[in-house]
Amino acid sequence: MLHMGIPKLVNYRNWKNKFATYVADHSILVIVTIIAITILLVYPMIRMEPTQQASPNPPGEVYDMQADIDDKFPTPLHFASYVLEPKNGDVITADVLREFAGNRDRVINLDKKGELAAGTLDKQQYLFTYFNNDYGLDITGIRSILEPIEASLAMAGTNLADSTDHDIKMAVARIVANPDTRSF
Q: Where in the chain are the domains?
A: 2-47, 94-177
d(CA 142, CA 102): 13
**pLDDT of res. 42:** 92
- The one-letter code for the residue type at 83 is V
**pLDDT of res. 163:** 92
Average pLDDT over residues 149-166: 91
pLDDT score of 49 more than 70:
yes
Mean pLDDT of all residues belonging to the chain = 82
Average pLDDT over residues 10-32: 85
| C-alpha of 46 from chain center | 32
> Regarding beta strands 129-132 and 137-140, do their DSSP bridges make them parallel or antiparallel, or are they unpaired?
antiparallel
d(CA 156, CA 177): 15
72-122 per-position pLDDT tens digit: 887 777 777 888 887 888 888 999 999 999 998 998 899 888 888 878 878
pLDDT score of 184 more than 70:
no
**pLDDT of res. 98:** 93
User: pLDDT-derived band of residue 139, with 50, 70 and 90 as boundaries?
Assistant: confident
| b/e 139-178 (16+ beta carbons within 10 angstroms → b) | bbebbeebbbbbbbbeeeebebeebeeebbebbbebbeee
d(CA 125, CA 164): 34
Is the pTM here over 0.85, yes or no? no
The residue ranking higher by pLDDT, 93 or 182, is 93
The residue ranking higher by pLDDT, 121 or 30, is 30
**pLDDT of res. 183:** 62
